[in-house]
Structure 1
Amino acid sequence: MNLPLPGTTDDRVVGVLLGSACGDALGVPYEFGPRLAEDRVPEMAGGGLGPYEPGEYSDDTQMAVCIARALRDHGDPVSAEALRRTADAFLRWANDGASDIGNQTAWVMRRSGHALGRPEVAKVMERAAADRFADGVPSAGNGSLMRTGPLALAYPDDPRGLAVAADRYSRLTHGDPLASEACVLWCEGIRYAVAHADLSGVRAGLDLLPRDRRGVWAAWLDEAEERPPHAFSPNGFVVRALQAAWSAVVRGDFTTALRAAVRAGDDTDTVAAIAGALLGARWGASAIPREYLDAVHGWPGYRADGLSELALGVAGRRAGKR
């Protein structure tokens, strides 16, 4: 397995996608189960809600891969072509590769499936999500937050550009502004951690939100730092998912924090995938246990090496050079 040198920026670039995938696979066996005892060590045992093999990741990483491949191949993430490619990839995945899919995302996929392959597919998808929210259907699930980590790799020096992209990619399936705001905060946390090996970017991201939303989110982050991850269950709601992930992230190194995210219970694979992206950005792929890297795999055939190359491709980098 070829990974970048420990402590390099590339180590942290690769850590974003690998950290998320490993968190996803670690959480799969416990999805929608009860809180785990503090002395229990989560394992990549497979099973869960589907016929997952040990180490196999689920829809969280599958959708992140769809985004990452589009970003790798298009210079402007918010171009019509990049968004079209992503929307098409989501639909093809939903039809052929999805091992699991959330209710909100599944509904949007059904409503926009007729536009597969058409230039307007991203607009159709976004409109369906917006209409669902406008109709009063709760639309602030964690399904956009779980997948947006790769966007941070495409904007290494442009937090405001990243905020625009995080909002656009969230709105493809989630019309509630809460989902977009969560993606903005988390993506900026990932971007900053990759650049500086520091977690303070999540709070710095508050300045990227509308002025009247900053205090609300600051209070939610405060609460997450004061309470354990399991206090934010059920965590299918995007705010609770972010709080559970942040509560875990600030409590230790990569492995300690990732296991804490899984122990919180409920939507374990998603919370751990969200936490894993930020933890990987902070600590790097070199901090991920070797047994996780050896086991992790999933649709459409990636293992750790392939995910590493994909992350570096999004960032436009070559392993070990920086």
Structure 2
Amino acid sequence: MSLATLDRQRGCLMGLAVGDALGAAVEFQPPGSFKLVEDYRDGGPHRLAPGEWTDDTSMALALADSIGEAGWDLNDQATRYLQWFREGKYSVTGSCFDIGIATREALARFESSYDAQSSGSREIRSSGNGSIMRLAPVPIHFLNLFPDNIAKLADRAAESSLPTHGSPLCVDACRYMALILAGLMQGIDRDVVLSPDWKPLAELRSQQELAPEIAEIAEGSFRQLSPPQIVGSGYVVKSMEAALWAFHDAGDFREAVLKAVNLGNDSDTTGAICSQFAGAFWGESGIPHSWRTGLAKPEMLEEALSSILS
């Protein structure tokens, strides 16, 4: 592994946490109702300190921990999500203070069934962004599958959604996002990776066609829209569209992530998704130094990186 590739792998996960922490203070606030985010700030619905992160990062840490300790085991992943939910493990504050409705319901089902393959709702109405917000550990760990085994990479990404989000839209969003992240981490140019004509995308779609809503994003819908059509929504389709809109033409990591979080509403998650793309492209070295050093509990992030990079 080259140092440049490692920098982009680290950037993908560290970026997730940075975007999450930047958006936390304005979560649930509509665009235009708050002073634009330019740096970490305290407050928000969870009254966090500057640099503290939310459920997006906590679930990514749980996923990374599972991959590092148990290999690939969906029941183990769901068990660690439960440890976060019930006990506050992986939380920046030591307690679970933020959890999506679909995730809460899915983990309750898992407690009863111990079957993570079926605990996430398959219903379209449950197509939230909770599985793409935490996805980074999957393409980071399985980066060696790209480009020679795209099918397995996509399968791992799809499976990672099932414990909490079984909707076809969520599953296909994970498949597409993992492919994009892998391409970026391997150093492929952003415009190439986001092109609807990219060869690996054609291969992904030949194995199993994407849901129409996700296929539209892959065709470049985010390039044609702007706010208020672009929104910081909890709906997986609009969430990914917003993240790619913020990322696709930004000049640097800072510009991309601030465009994302300043959409408001589900700002922490829009930021977390966008900054996975941005971190995978510009690398950890492209994240502003003050944002990297200002993150809370850096040792937890380093432990997660050790788990998935080993």
User: For this structure pair, what is the TM-score category when the shorter chain's length is used for normalisation?
Assistant: 0.7 to 0.9
The residue aligned with 2:217 is 220
For residues 181-192 of structure 1, the aligned pairs below 5 Å read: 181-192=172-183
5+ residue gaps in structure 1?
Answer: 116-120, 317-322
Deviation at 1:214, TM superposition (A): 6.8
User: 1:127-147, CA deviations, whole angstroms, 9 ceiling, x for partnerless residues?
Assistant: 232xx43xx571100011101
Q: TM-score, normalised by structure 1?
A: 0.83
- More off after superposition, 20-29 vs 146-155: 146-155
The 3-state SS of whatever aligns with 2:46 is: coil
The residue aligned with 2:78 is 87
* Structure 1 letter corresponding to 2:78: A
The residue aligned with 2:242 is 244
Deviation at 1:220, TM superposition (A): 2.6
Identity %: 30
5+ residue gaps in structure 2?
Answer: 89-95
Query: Of residues 119, 127, 137 in structure 2, which corresponds to 1:128?
Result: 119
The 3-state SS of whatever aligns with 1:314 is: helix
The 3-state SS of whatever aligns with 1:213 is: coil
Q: TM-score, normalised by structure 2?
A: 0.86
Question: Is structure 2 residue 55 aligned with structure 1 residue 73?
Answer: no
The answer to whether the 8 Å contact 2:9/2:140 transfers is: yes
The residue aligned with 1:320 is none
Supply the RMSD in Å over aligned alpha carbons: 2.5
1:207 & 1:243 partners in 2: Cα distance? 22
* Structure 2 letter corresponding to 1:201: V
- More off after superposition, 137-146 vs 251-260: 137-146
1:128 & 1:217 partners in 2: Cα distance? 23
Deviation at 1:284, TM superposition (A): 0.5
Deviation at 1:17, TM superposition (A): 0.8
Question: Is structure 2 residue 50 aligned with structure 1 residue 54?
Answer: yes
Deviation at 1:42, TM superposition (A): 3.0
Deviation at 1:162, TM superposition (A): 1.4
2:175 & 2:8 partners in 1: Cα distance? 19
The residue aligned with 2:92 is none
Deviation at 1:191, TM superposition (A): 1.1
For residues 168-187 of structure 1, the aligned pairs below 5 Å read: 168-187=159-178
* Structure 2 letter corresponding to 1:113: E
Deviation at 1:113, TM superposition (A): 2.2
1:211 & 1:114 partners in 2: Cα distance? 32
Pair 32,94 (structure 1): closer, same or farther in 2 beyond 3 Å: same
Deviation at 1:213, TM superposition (A): 3.0
Pair 48,39 (structure 1): closer, same or farther in 2 beyond 3 Å: closer
The answer to whether the 8 Å contact 1:248/1:257 transfers is: yes
* Structure 1 letter corresponding to 2:255: T
Question: Is structure 2 residue 141 aligned with structure 1 residue 154?
Answer: yes
The residue aligned with 1:319 is none
Pair 234,49 (structure 1): closer, same or farther in 2 beyond 3 Å: same
Pair 127,218 (structure 1): closer, same or farther in 2 beyond 3 Å: closer
The residue aligned with 2:253 is 254
1:160 & 1:55 partners in 2: Cα distance? 37
The answer to whether the 8 Å contact 1:262/1:268 transfers is: yes
The answer to whether the 8 Å contact 1:47/1:53 transfers is: yes
The residue aligned with 2:111 is 113
Pair 142,161 (structure 1): closer, same or farther in 2 beyond 3 Å: same
User: 1:92-112, CA deviations, whole angstroms, 9 ceiling, x for partnerless residues?
Assistant: 111122220001001112222
The 3-state SS of whatever aligns with 2:291 is: helix
Deviation at 1:313, TM superposition (A): 3.3
* Structure 1 letter corresponding to 2:214: W
